Amino acid sequence: MTTTDVSGVCDDRFAGLRALFAKNIDAGDELGGSLVVDVGGAPLVDIWGGWADRQRTRPWQRDTLTNVWSCTKTVTALAALLLIERGLLDIDAQVARYWPEFAAAGKEDVRVRHVLSHTSGVPAWEQPITIEDVYDTQGAAARLAAQAPWWTPGTASGYHVLNYGHLVGELIRRVDGRTLGRFVAEEITGPLGADFHIGLPDSEADRVADVVPPQGASLDPSAPDPDHIRLRTFTGPLVGPRESLTPEWRRAEVGAANGQGNARSLARIQSVVACGGAVDGVRLLSPETIALIFRPQSDGPDLVLGAHLRFGIGYGLPSPSVPYIPQGRVCFWPGFGGSIVVADTERRTTISYVMNKMGAGLLGSDRTIAYVNEVYAALN
């Protein structure tokens, strides 16, 4: 068996990470992907390898993109933090201050921080709802504004699987006037030079590596009864890997789940958090705004995922369900199938992993865990 050609740069300290990545590609555990470890704004690891397609006819290139699923939420959250930084959005204000229609059906006291931390009580759409309805971003946001909360807002988290970007994005549109995708492009990815898209132009579609669903595993919406919050969330609407293969999905602005990027672009964006708000002279946030991320909003069993999670403002925080994320001033979030981005403010380090062959697990696959553990072993 020949050793996989892994391209890019890798500091000697992380030789074990590179070897593990190559081993997983050789073994078929990986199809294609990319890994980045950024320290202080400089990438000490920026590697990629494998294949962009299931048939293994297109090598994964430096600029290959793929669907990063819920890692998109970290970019959406960062966009909201920019408006908080500028004094245009107050995390403790009622959502209805900016979006009056949202006060309907008992949601008048839902706060901006509830929306950003998955505690709003509105984790999905009421039925009937189709994926085509979700693509109508403003129409879908209006549906959310009209419905009642499924639990008392602020009392628990219930992961906002598919609608996080509709809620946060509509707040951004009401405050700023731009859609989420345009705001991210003009205020985050443009200034940082990050190749990441919420709403992919058709001109970039040839660079996308289709995701490959995990064998024998998928999001399991099973629940004790039809009214259970988990079942209602995962079926409102039910979306799986197949949807991500369509042009309609890629063009839409689904700020919870359809970001197209790679490990380099995700790490570049979130290094702003790890490095105190500025990277290469581009300052997006102050240390005071970054501190908001680490203000706990929930700490307990999530009503949708079932796991014991801790959410701050816009990001997950270390919790019992993710023992591979170290304690400390660290924030993160994974995507369906195993992609992840971690921002460690104590080490000024950002870790990102993006792949096309999805693994099992809602909070990182076995590969995700092994890569993050390898990075921390090298750092320590």
Give me the active site residues, please: 70
Could you give the CA distance from residue 273 to residue 279 in angstroms, rounded to a whole number? 9
Radius of gyration, CA atoms only, the chain: 19
CB 256 within 8 A of CB 262: no
CB 14 within 8 A of CB 378: yes
Here the tokens at position 221 are 């919406």
Query: Nearest Cα to 9, choosing from 56, 52, 62, 58?
Result: 62
Q: How far is CA 104 from CA 141, 142, 199, 275, 359, in A?
A: 13, 11, 29, 40, 40
Could you give the CA distance from residue 198 to residue 142 in angstroms, rounded to a whole number? 20
Here the tokens at position 378 are 């090298």
CB 312 within 8 A of CB 296: yes
Query: Nearest Cα to 22, choosing from 63, 62, 50, 64?
Result: 50
| Phi-psi region at 143: left, alpha or beta (left = phi > 0; alpha = psi -120 to 50) | alpha
Judged on CB neighbours under 10 Å (0-12, 13-18, 19+), 55 is exposed
Neighbours of 6 (CB within 10 A): 18
- According to DSSP, the β-strands at 208-209 and 260-261 are unpaired
Could you give the CA distance from residue 262 to residue 355 in angstroms, rounded to a whole number? 8
Judged on CB neighbours under 10 Å (0-12, 13-18, 19+), 287 is exposed
Phi, psi of 42 (to 5 degrees): -115, 130
Beta carbons within 8 Å of 281's beta carbon, 6+ residues apart: none
